[in-house]
C-alpha cells in the first residue's frame, strides 16, 4: 500500500548574510518523508541539519522552494496559520529537553494539549498514558530537576507527540546521553513512532542508531542525499 506523504521539501534554499557576504546553507534541497517511517539525518556539524529541520518545522521561511505539510504548501501562509500547523501537526524534540522546571513531568506533557484547547481531564489522561508508554509513569509528579537525563528526554518526547502530530522532528535527541541510555530512549521513541504511524526525521551522530532507522540521508553541498 502506498504510504501518505507527510512532509515534502522541494527545491528549498536558505541563505544567511554575514557582513557583505552571503552564506548559502541549503541549495535546492529536496526531501520526502512518508507517514510511518523514521529517517536518520546524518551529517557533520555546519552542513545544515538544524537549518533543514527549522525550515521543515516552519520555524524559518525558505528563501526559495516549497515546504508541504500533509500535502499543503506552507510558504505563503500567515504567521498565525503557520503557528497553528506547528502546534497541531509538528512535534519537536531537541538535544536539550527544554522542559519547564516549575512543572511536573505530567504537567509538562499536558501543557501543549491545554494550549490546543483540550479539556483538563482529557489532557491529564493522555499525558498519563504517554508517561506509562515511555515507562516513566511512576515519575509523573516529579519535576525535571528530580529526573535523570534519560527520563527528562522521554518526557520531552512524550510532550512532542502529545497533540498527535503528523511529523516529528528530532535534533540530536540522544546527544547528551550515555550510549546505554541513548539506546533505551531511542527504543521508546521508535516504539512510539511505529505504534502511532507518525513520520519522523531524527538528526543524529550516532551511527548505531542511524542504522536502525528506515532510511539514512545526509546533506552535502546544500542538498539532501540518500546514503
d(CA 82, CA 89): 10
Q: What angle do CA 86, 109, 139 make, to 5 degrees?
A: 155
Could you report the per-residue pLDDT of 68-121, keeping only the tens digit for each?
Answer: 999 999 988 999 999 999 988 999 988 777 899 999 999 999 998 888 888 999
The answer to whether residues 188 and 155 touch, using CB atoms and an 8 Å cutoff, is no
Could you report the per-residue pLDDT of 118-141, keeping only the tens digit for each?
Answer: 899 999 999 999 998 888 999 999
| pLDDT band at 1; cut points 50, 70, 90 | low
215 or 19, which is more confident:
215
**What is the reported pLDDT for 179?**
84
DSSP element (H, E) containing 14: strand 5-18
Taking the domains of the chain in order of start, what are their residue ranges? 37-48+78-224
What is the strand order of the sheet 21-34 is part of?
21-34, 5-18, 64-69, 72-73
| pLDDT band at 59; cut points 50, 70, 90 | very high
| pLDDT band at 25; cut points 50, 70, 90 | very high
d(CA 50, CA 192): 23
Q: Which residues pair with 203 in a beta bridge?
A: 41, 171
Q: What angle do CA 99, 171, 3 make, to 5 degrees?
A: 110
Could you report the per-residue pLDDT of 140-188, keeping only the tens digit for each?
Answer: 999 999 999 889 988 998 999 898 899 999 988 887 788 888 888 888 8
d(CA 56, CA 169): 8
**What is the reported pLDDT for 169?**
95
Q: Could you give the C-alpha distances from 194 to 37, 145, 190, 199, 200, in angstroms and in order? A: 8, 30, 6, 9, 10
- DSSP H helices, the chain, are 49-56, 79-89, 105-115, 120-133, 149-160, 179-196, 207-211
The answer to whether residues 37 and 3 touch, using CB atoms and an 8 Å cutoff, is yes
**What is the reported pLDDT for 174?**
82
The answer to whether residues 29 and 9 touch, using CB atoms and an 8 Å cutoff, is yes
C-alpha cell at 5: 506523504
Residue 209 has pLDDT above 90, yes or no: no
| pLDDT band at 53; cut points 50, 70, 90 | very high
CATH superfamily of 37-48+78-224: P-loop containing nucleotide triphosphate hydrolases (3.40.50.300)
C-alpha cell at 53: 529541520
| pLDDT band at 191; cut points 50, 70, 90 | confident
Angle between helices 105-115 and 149-160 (to 10 degrees): 20
d(CA 49, CA 27): 13
Q: Which residues pair with 40 in a beta bridge?
A: 202, 216
d(CA 82, CA 87): 9
Amino acid at each position: 500500500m502506498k504510504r501518505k506523504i507527510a512532509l515534502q521539501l522541494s527545491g528549498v534554499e536558505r541563505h544567511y548574510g554575514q557582513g557583505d557576504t552571503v552564506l548559502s546553507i541549503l541549495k535546492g534541497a529536496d526531501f520526502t518523508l512518508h507517514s510511518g517511517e523514521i529517517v536518520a539525518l546524518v551529517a557533520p556539524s555546519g552542513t545544515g541539519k538544524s537549518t533543514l529541520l527549522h525550515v521543515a518545522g516552519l520555524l524559518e521561511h525558505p528563501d526559495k522552494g516549497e515546504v508541504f505539510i500533509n500535502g499543503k504548501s506552507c510558504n505563503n501562509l500567515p504567521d498565525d496559520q503557520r503557528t497553528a500547523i506547528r502546534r497541531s501537526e509538528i512535534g519537536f524534540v531537541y538535544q536539550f529537553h527544554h522542559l519547564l522546571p516549575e512543572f511536573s513531568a505530567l504537567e509538562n506533557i499536558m501543557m501543549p494539549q491545554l494550549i490546543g484547547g483540550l479539556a483538563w481531564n482529557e489532557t491529564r489522561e493522555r499525558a498519563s498514558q504517554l508517561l506509562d508508554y515511555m515507562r516513566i509513569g511512576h515519575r509523573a509528579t516529579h519535576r525535571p530537576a528530580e529526573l535523570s537525563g534519560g527520563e527528562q528526554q522521554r518526557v520531552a518526547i512524550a510532550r512532542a507527540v502529545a497533540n498527535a502530530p503528523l511529523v516529528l522532528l528530532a535534533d540530536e535527541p540522544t546527544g547528551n546521553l550515555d550510549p546505554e541510555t541513548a539506546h533505551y530512549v531511542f527504543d521508546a521513541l521508535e516504539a512510539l513512532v511505529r505504534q502511532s504511524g507518525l513520520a519522523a526525521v531524527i538528526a543524529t551522530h550516532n551511527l548505531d542508531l542511524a542504522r536502525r532507522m528506515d532510511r539514512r540521508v545526509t546533506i552535502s553541498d546544500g542538498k539532501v542525499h540518500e546514503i
